Amino acid sequence: MKKPMFAAMFAASIAFSCGGTQEVREVTIQAEEIEVEPEWTSLFDGESFDGWKKYGGGEVGKAWKVQNGTIYLDATNKADWQTGDGGDIVTEEEFENFHLKLEWKIAENGNSGIIFFVHESDEYSYPWNTGMEMQVLDNDGHPDAKITTHRAGDLYDLIESSEETVKEVGEWNLAEIIADNGHLELHLNGVKVVETTMWTPEWEELIAGSKFKNMPGFGTFKKGKIALQDHGDEVWFRNIEIKKL
């Protein structure tokens, strides 16, 4: 949504000369309303984890690395379903109405996610206790792909993609999340694959029929952090940008 600048109206005294006689007239000038497009802001500088932290506090775990201009999760040191010295990472800043875009690629049989509207507090152990997830997955190799709402591009466990536009494993995918006053869209590789309205009775019914039904904070916060998920598999993210709406 473009943000309009305030229309300006002001009076100016202008002197006119006519036949050697100067006449002063007051002229009202009204400026036109100008629409200003919000600017994109980078959330990753390609060189460091500035602006990011480990969910729950502390520095980003060492399993997360900056590699060739990407955020890379090294999953060689597995710890149950996550990685040793890894964990989910979140932005330090919270966002309300926004357009987020980034590129991701996943390793063979890999699973990860982009989680948004994350409320970070001691009350919640993981970002997905409060935030919704755009799924990152190898649809051909990971067993989670057998569930229709768990495939790449889906609003995880809530809404399946209208069509599958994910690329082959190991290739870069462009993901976009647009949240504007409750209206939510997910785009994958230039195609809108999910569209819904949050925080309505229908939204509450959707959650009630999902695996998040017993998480009272899930899907309720209208402002929150962006999280990249450590699901114990190699994953890469790059060109992470956001535009406040």
- Clarify whether residues 26 and 87 are in a common domain: no
Tens digit of pLDDT for each residue in 106-165? Answer: 999 999 999 999 999 999 999 999 999 999 999 999 999 999 999 999 999 999 999 999
- Clarify whether residues 168 and 86 are in a common domain: yes
Residue 9 pLDDT > 60? no
Token look-up 């409750």 returns 182
Q: What is the pLDDT of residue 38?
A: 81
- Clarify whether residues 140 and 166 are in a common domain: yes
- Clarify whether residues 10 and 104 are in a common domain: no
- Clarify whether residues 21 and 58 are in a common domain: no
- Clarify whether residues 127 and 221 are in a common domain: yes
What is the Cα–Cα distance from 151 to 206, expressed in whole angstroms?
A: 17
Q: What is the pLDDT of residue 18?
A: 47
| Total domains in the fold of the chain | 2
- Clarify whether residues 27 and 51 are in a common domain: no
The reply to whether the predicted model has a pTM over 0.75 is yes
What is the Cα–Cα distance from 183 to 180, expressed in whole angstroms?
A: 5
Of the listed ranges 8-12, 86-90, 141-145, 219-223, the least confidently predicted one is: 8-12
- Clarify whether residues 155 and 107 are in a common domain: yes
**Among residues of the chain, what percentage have pLDDT more than 70?**
86
188, burial (CB in 10 Å: exposed 0-12, middle 13-18, buried 19+)? buried
- Clarify whether residues 11 and 95 are in a common domain: no
Please give the residue range of the domain that contains residue 43: 39-244
> How many C-beta atoms surround the C-beta of residue 234 within 10 A?
17
Label residue 8 by pLDDT band (50, 70, 90).
very low
Q: What is the pLDDT of residue 209?
A: 98
Q: Assign residue 238 the CATH number of its domain.
A: 2.60.120.560
- Clarify whether residues 95 and 203 are in a common domain: yes
DSSP string, 186-209: EEETTEEEEEEE-SSHHHHHHHHT
What is the Cα–Cα distance from 57 to 59, expressed in whole angstroms?
A: 7
| Helix segments in 19-108, DSSP class H | none
What is the Cα–Cα distance from 114 to 25, expressed in whole angstroms?
A: 61
- Clarify whether residues 151 and 74 are in a common domain: yes
What is the Cα–Cα distance from 37 to 155, expressed in whole angstroms?
A: 28
- Clarify whether residues 128 and 185 are in a common domain: yes
